Amino acid sequence: MSDLFSLRGQVALITGGSSGIGRATARAMGEAGASVVVSSENEAACRDTARELQDQGIQALAVPCDVRDRGGLAMLVAGTVRHFGGLDAVVHAAGVAPHFGPMAEATEDEWRLTMGVNLEAAWHLCTLARGHLFVRGGGSVTFISSIAGVRGNRSLGVYGVSKAGLTQLARNLAVEWGPHNIRVNSVSPGLIRTAFARDMLSQPDVMERRLALTPLRRVGEAHEVAGVAVMLASPAGAFITGQNLVVDGGTTVSDGTP
């Protein structure tokens, strides 16, 4: 069973890897045996995360990058391959939600930022990584999506559209790249205890209503999403591609009855 979920010998690249779900994923993949590259636009946080992993005995490298910069993404992928000799797993966990409210009230800048980080960067990153995964005989790509992309939302519509696109990107690439043994999936978390969700978590009335509609009656933890990402990159996930795995404590299957 240990081999079933092992990432020994793999090189994993995680965007958004210095905080929240991305950071938890970098740690979980490292603990499963992978060498990990931690990337985000926050240079100090990247280096702190990599140092923390190194202190745990994990081979880790910090490569700061703004994922909206295609040149920066190219350097990120090239730097990963140069340092560790290859690339086996990509996790795009970078994400933003600059607009909260009706979609019609979003500015052009908010729309472009959301699509640029959440969706376009994933496409560019995959395009850059594909050849390196092919050389290794295959590999895995995992997008951290959201349940906002699988149902309507009054306040996170722009974000939800970007995440729905991300999940569809996973399906399309799974079909295109499957013959080369490259698997592509998305993971859609519900409410997870991270800084990203801090505003919601700090509102007792909102949380009471939300948890009443979640069968498990609790908030998820970042490591619970990270574990799914590890599974998808491991032999345990070797026959899974083009799927969207929902990790939400049952929120999206609830009938709305507390």
Active site residues: 159
Q: Which of 94, 251, 225, 228 is nearest to 166 (CA)?
A: 94
CA distance 140 to 144: 13
CA distance 35 to 73: 19
C-alpha radius of gyration, the chain, whole number: 17
- Tokens read off for 210: 């939300």
CA distance 152 to 156: 9
CA distance 183 to 241: 5
